[in-house]
């Protein structure tokens, strides 16, 4: 029988009821499953912050160690009263935390954090949550075994902080080690390079870990248990008439995630394509015992009457603009700029060119560096290099968007009638998405305008309080 791979998020283990919900979920599968976990809520950020502080101050070591112990041991104490059992589990967690303490001392001594140490330390959020969950499940009668990525051979391309899985190397080892038909608990967020170094899969990467493992074992499905209601026609924090989306295809889910929907890590669907493994999203808070997903993602294309399934946005885009007569036709400029950005690990999210301008979309956190690098090339064909970062990207996503006449016109009409200026448009690069850039201040109004145009009767709209920063 094929495995189902299940992923629980960091917020799934907060209150006393949470563990019992997880147990109920696991029992409902009625067979062994592979469980991937992310760190407890906020732990990865705390570890990151601690790394920075520990370089300068030794007393920070104690602070983070106490915090990690308190957070994890308190959860054990919530669930287990029997003192011997409680002590035994606490000891296991403490031993793992002590491994970390030794590295922290080294970091403080040398005052530096090499990349391989950074990734190793940040992987501890997940290493601790997997040990915690596995130990608690065992106490409550679920036969589960912890399996670390280094033990199952989840091999990456070796890029620190943002690695991809090397499937050719991983498939045989993962298949072999997870072959015992029992329930495994695996920490997400990291794999190991061929040389055995821990490499992180990018922030939010546990979804991607789970998808990668699903591909390796050719799982029946990948089930992500979240504490939100899957994908919807708009962010429910902006509008309270957001419509849940029951079905999406892989490309729609990937584009929505890439353009800001915070449900999935954007790379999650990629490993699933190879064996058409369905991705099912569940809301753990509304679980009633039946395995009924809130959103089902597969390779079937569904065209809905509105064509657009969702409007989404992201603030994490900034524009690097290169101006000069003929930049669009002179060979070499683009190559020089993209090469230097690549050398410094700056990801180019999109490029739009005309005769006199090249506009590169970068992450906000990369824009200053990107600007300095472009300047450092001293390209004589460029008159000016500019940046803009007070912008938001808005995307409309839906199968059939490019083939159906009038969808783009309706989208922009809705935005223009609110007097909103559109700074840049891209259509055609993706079969299922059109995106454009507006000033950050206009973002919420633009999203609302489009949602009204495609999903509602304006009079019936019940608009929630405006929120500008989400």
Of residues 192 through 221, those in contact with ligand ASP by CB under 6 A are 203-206
Q: How far is the CB of 209 from ligand ASP (least distance, A)?
A: 8
Residue 458, phi-psi category: left (phi > 0), alpha (psi -120 to 50), beta (remainder): alpha
Which of 5, 10, 135, 185 touches ligand ASP (CB under 6 A)?
10
Which of 6, 33, 38, 93 touches ligand ASP (CB under 6 A)?
38
Query: 38 or 233: whose CB is closer to Mg ion?
Result: 38
> Nearest-CA neighbor of 19 among 74, 65, 68, 66?
74
420's tokens: 């909103």
125 lies in the binding site for ligand ASP (CB under 6 A):
yes
Query: 264 or 414: whose CB is closer to ligand ASP?
Result: 264
Q: How far is the CB of 231 from ligand ASP (least distance, A)?
A: 18
CA–CA distances in Å: residue 60 to residues 55, 57, 117, 183: 9, 6, 17, 38
Q: How far is the CB of 452 from Mg ion (least distance, A)?
A: 31
Of residues 184 through 213, those in contact with Mg ion by CB under 5 A are 204
Query: 125 or 370: whose CB is closer to ligand ASP?
Result: 125
Q: How many residues bind ligand ASP (CB under 6 A)?
A: 11
Q: How many residues bind Mg ion (CB under 5 A)?
A: 2
149 lies in the binding site for ligand ASP (CB under 6 A):
no
Query: 208 or 455: whose CB is closer to Mg ion?
Result: 208
Q: What are phi and psi of 393, to 5 degrees?
A: -105, 135
C-beta of residue 394 within 8 angstroms of C-beta of residue 313: yes
The option from Mg ion, ligand ASP, none interacting with 455 (CB < 5 to 8 A, set by class) reads none
Q: How far is the CB of 88 from ligand ASP (least distance, A)?
A: 26
The option from ligand ASP, Mg ion, none interacting with 370 (CB < 5 to 8 A, set by class) reads none
Query: In 3-state terms, what secondary structure has residue 267?
Result: coil
Rounded-to-integer distance, Cα 402 and Cα 417, Å: 22
Give the angle subtended at the CA of 263 by the CAs of 164 and 388, to the nearest 5°: 80
Rounded-to-integer distance, Cα 153 and Cα 171, Å: 8
Q: How far is the CB of 201 from ligand ASP (least distance, A)?
A: 8
Of residues 347 through 406, those in contact with ligand ASP by CB under 6 A are none
Query: 163 or 391: whose CB is closer to ligand ASP?
Result: 163
Query: 188 or 230: whose CB is closer to ligand ASP?
Result: 188
Query: 40 or 277: whose CB is closer to ligand ASP?
Result: 40
The option from Mg ion, ligand ASP, none interacting with 203 (CB < 5 to 8 A, set by class) reads ligand ASP
C-beta of residue 132 within 8 angstroms of C-beta of residue 75: yes
Q: How far is the CB of 204 from ligand ASP (least distance, A)?
A: 5
List of residues 6+ apart from 116 with CB closer than 8 A: 160, 197, 198
Query: 204 or 266: whose CB is closer to Mg ion?
Result: 204
DSSP assignment letter at 165 = B
Query: In 3-state terms, what secondary structure has residue 425?
Result: strand
DSSP assignment letter at 259 = T
**Burial level of 220, CB count in 10 A (0-12/13-18/19+)?**
middle
> Nearest-CA neighbor of 449 among 293, 239, 143?
239
- Contact range with Mg ion by CB under 5 A, out of 34-42, 119-127, 244-252, 280-288: 34-42
The option from ligand ASP, Mg ion, none interacting with 259 (CB < 5 to 8 A, set by class) reads none
266 lies in the binding site for ligand ASP (CB under 6 A):
no
Of residues 160 through 199, those in contact with ligand ASP by CB under 6 A are 188-189
**Nearest residue to the partner ligand ASP, using Cβ:** 206
334's tokens: 């683009």
Q: How far is the CB of 361 from ligand ASP (least distance, A)?
A: 22
- Give the distance from CA 186 to its chain's centroid: 17
Q: In what order do the strands lie in the sheet with 295-298?
A: 144-146, 183-187, 34-37, 4-8, 221-226, 279-283, 295-298, 247-249
C-beta of residue 424 within 8 angstroms of C-beta of residue 436: yes
Q: What are phi and psi of 84, to 5 degrees?
A: -65, -45
Which of 12, 35, 38, 442 touches Mg ion (CB under 5 A)?
38
Rounded-to-integer distance, Cα 50 and Cα 322, Å: 38
Query: 205 or 370: whose CB is closer to ligand ASP?
Result: 205
Q: How far is the CB of 42 from ligand ASP (least distance, A)?
A: 8
Query: In 3-state terms, what secondary structure has residue 375?
Result: helix
- Give the distance from CA 416 to its chain's centroid: 32
Rounded-to-integer distance, Cα 434 and Cα 432, Å: 7
Query: 38 or 221: whose CB is closer to Mg ion?
Result: 38
Query: 8 or 455: whose CB is closer to ligand ASP?
Result: 8
Q: How far is the CB of 36 from ligand ASP (least distance, A)?
A: 9
Which of 18, 36, 44, 210 touches ligand ASP (CB under 6 A)?
44
SS (H, E, C) 64-91: HHHHHHHHHHHHHHHHCCCHHHHHHHHH
Binding site for Mg ion (CB under 5 A): 38, 204
Binding site for ligand ASP (CB under 6 A): 10, 38-39, 44, 125, 188-189, 203-206
């Amino acid at each position: 029988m094929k495995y189902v791979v299940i992923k629980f998020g960091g917020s799934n283990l907060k209150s006393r009821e949470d563990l019992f919900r997880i147990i109920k979920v696991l029992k409902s599968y009625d067979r062994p499953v592979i469980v991937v976990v992310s760190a407890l809520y906020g732990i990865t950020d705390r570890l990151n912050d601690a790394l920075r502080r520990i370089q300068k101050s030794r007393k920070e070591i104690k602070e983070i160690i106490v915090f990690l112990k308190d957070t994890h041991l308190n959860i054990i104490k919530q669930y287990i009263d029997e003192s011997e059992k409680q002590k035994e589990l606490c000891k296991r967690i403490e031993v793992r935390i002590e491994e970390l303490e030794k590295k922290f001392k080294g970091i403080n001594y040398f005052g530096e954090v090499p990349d391989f140490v950074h990734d190793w330390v940040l992987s501890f959020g997940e290493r601790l949550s997997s040990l915690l969950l596995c130990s608690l499940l065992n106490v409550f009668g679920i036969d589960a075994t912890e399996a670390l990525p280094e033990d199952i051979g989840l091999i990456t391309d070796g890029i620190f902080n943002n690695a991809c899985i090397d499937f050719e190397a991983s498939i045989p080892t993962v298949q072999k080690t997870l072959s015992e038909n029992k329930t495994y608990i695996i920490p997400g967020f990291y794999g190991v390079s061929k040389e055995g170094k821990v490499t992180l899969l990018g922030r939010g990467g546990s979804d991607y870990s789970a998808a990668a493992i699903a591909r390796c074992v050719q799982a029946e499905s990948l089930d992500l248990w979240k504490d939100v209601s899957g994908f919807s026609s708009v962010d429910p924090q902006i509008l309270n008439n957001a419509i849940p989306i029951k079905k999406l295809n892989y490309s729609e889910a990937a584009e929505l995630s890439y353009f800001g929907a915070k449900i999935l890590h954007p790379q999650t669907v990629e490993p699933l394509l190879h064996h058409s493994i369905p991705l099912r999203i569940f809301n753990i808070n509304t679980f009633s015992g039946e395995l009924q997903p809130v959103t089902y993602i597969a390779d079937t294309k569904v065209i809905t009457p509105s064509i657009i399934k969702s409007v989404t946005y992201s603030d994490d885009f900034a524009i690097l603009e290169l101006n000069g007569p003929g930049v669009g036709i002179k060979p070499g400029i683009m190559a020089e700029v993209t090469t230097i950005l690549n050398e410094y690990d700056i990801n180019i999210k999109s490029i739009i060119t005309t005769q006199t301008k090249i506009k590169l979309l970068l992450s906000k956190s990369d824009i200053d560096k990107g600007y300095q690098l472009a300047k450092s090339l001293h390209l004589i064909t460029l008159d000016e290099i500019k940046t803009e970062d007070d912008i938001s990207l808005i995307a409309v996503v839906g199968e059939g968007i490019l083939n159906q006449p009038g969808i783009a016109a309706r989208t922009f009409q809705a935005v223009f009638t609110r007097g909103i200026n559109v700074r840049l448009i891209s259509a055609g690069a993706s079969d299922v998405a059109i995106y454009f850039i507006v000033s950050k201040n206009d973002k919420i109004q633009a999203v609302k305008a489009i949602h009204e145009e495609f999903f509602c009767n304006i009079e019936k709209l019940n608009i929630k309080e405006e929120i500008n920063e989400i």
